[in-house]
A and B are shown apart, each in its own frame.
Chain A
């Protein structure tokens, strides 16, 4: 490869793989996809020409959940081999139209859906949220996320979070139309250059705002800002961490009874990848009336919803039952009324699964902040529901 000094297996140390198969054994898509991550690791290490992968659609089946990286006894990151191969495909321009559209959208409009820049803050129109660029340094910056800004279903999460932050007496601001995509998914679709561009654009504004803490809607944004953005001084927290802190510091409490039997779905980017398992559960349990049951597969063993790693824009080979459908069926068997989650992609994929399995009357998918907002006596307005 002309662009990188080291080859892919050198860069990722793939020669040290002992082919134990722990990665394949944990890969959530391996039961339904031809993707065999152990084989990808071995082939990337021994193949002279990695172009053989270009025709393998299953490279796009990987959700970048990173289970393989957590399980690998050699401390390798098999998932990065997938991303590395995608990078090569992007460099040669040989990628599917839906991915090109997502990348073009992020490049031109700062969001992978290609929605207008000047409509990014429309969700906040009547909420009188401060412009972070006009705040004093050292405050709270709320980083909204493309999905929460534009998707009518997820906008309700942003609105609910605003309600919760206000109830906790938090002074916070947003970047409004100046916010651009965090680039997390862009990077995982293999477009490193564009990720860097988006990072630079956000960093410019982060530097101007100089916040003490950045709170995100999405675990994907949180992961990117916290672990991948270079030179960011501010503390980065997912909302579940920040809201739990408010509760612990007795700045926030819920007084409205929300009688509901729920379970919690761990988003991969929050749980597996950042170890945030307890905070969302703690917030959930501090809402009066909530009856909480754990999924059998929870925390580190949680089943991925298949919404990450560019899968929102690319189906891959997508054979077999969707994992989100399995998740919904498991929840129904547990007899809960709602699956609570804390990630825009999980919310959308699980809600889709409720519809495709025809269970709309039986079970709901709710974001943790919508539930918290109900605990404050504010019913979230969800477009298209009730």
Chain B
């Protein structure tokens, strides 16, 4: 089985103090740490587990600058066989729709039985690239997948739905799945493992190689674009309690008592 996994390199923002940059359309990224998008890490692990059971090949694809080789190498060290990077200044500003066009242009000529993407990316959070890609390639798909079983050319997958419901679907291969976090336990990738694949060639392809024009991709080829980024305005009614830890605790208990929160 030939599996293709789309992986994105994203900044980690959980602990960072985010600053909106001068353009007001992006955040300052100098101090941010980048890594593989969390969902995509689970998708790579899912691909490896399928390969371990069924045999076949895994190719990982990432759209972005040379730094994206980092996440591609990591996936190679984890167990992928080949890596491809799609890169072109024209791709800049692509939304999920335009990004899916870039990926589709690359994937359509590659052998594929199964395509895996993450459910969403940690930075833009579109949650749309995977399903748009399936549509463009004319493949059946299932989103938010939490379990995969394969029998012959049929996949039985579990999907996590709103309200905690779970749906079980069957799909005929070739197909596309968007993978939810928690589907498996991604294995650790050691530094030595990454060093061992450090010299492996990673092919780079641009818009022309993919037969894409400037109007297909980037802002021109997108259905949405960022107008402005801003922090939510500070609302009324919040009270910041000051003082030492003990004073804070005392004040908090007093407030909770006054307002009937505790007896």
Contacts and interface: CB of A to CB of B under 8 A. Distances in A.
Contacts of B195: 193
A116 B245 CA distance: 23
Contacts of B246: 386
Specify which of A95, A116, A119, A386 lies most central, judged by the most chain B CB atoms within 10 Å of its CB: A116
Interface string A32-75: 00000000000000000000000000000000000000000000
Nearest to B188: A93
B192 A192 contact: yes
Interface in A172-216: 191-194, 196-197
A99 B186 CA distance: 12
A269 to B, nearest CB: 23
A57 to B, nearest CB: 15
B192 A93 contact: no
> What class of interface size applies to chain A in its complex with B?
20 to 34
B190 A115 contact: no
Interface residues of chain A: helix, strand, loop or mixed (majority): helix
A242 interface: no
A115 B33 contact: no
B31 interface: yes
Contacts of A262: none
A109 B31 CA distance: 11
Query: Which bucket holds chain B's interface residue count?
Result: 20 to 34
Given A97-B185, A193-B195, A114 B15 contact: yes
B193 interface: yes
Nearest to A114: B15
Interface stretch (A100-108, A136-144, A306-314): A100-108
Contact of B187 (A92, A109, A117, A194): A92
A248 interface: no
Contacts of A3: 192
A118 interface: yes
15 contacts: A3-B192, A90-B190, A93-B187, A94-B188, A97-B185, A100-B186, A100-B188, A104-B35, A118-B31, A192-B192, A193-B195, A194-B191, A383-B245, A384-B245, A386-B246
Interface of B: 12, 15-17, 31, 33, 35, 78, 185-195, 245-246
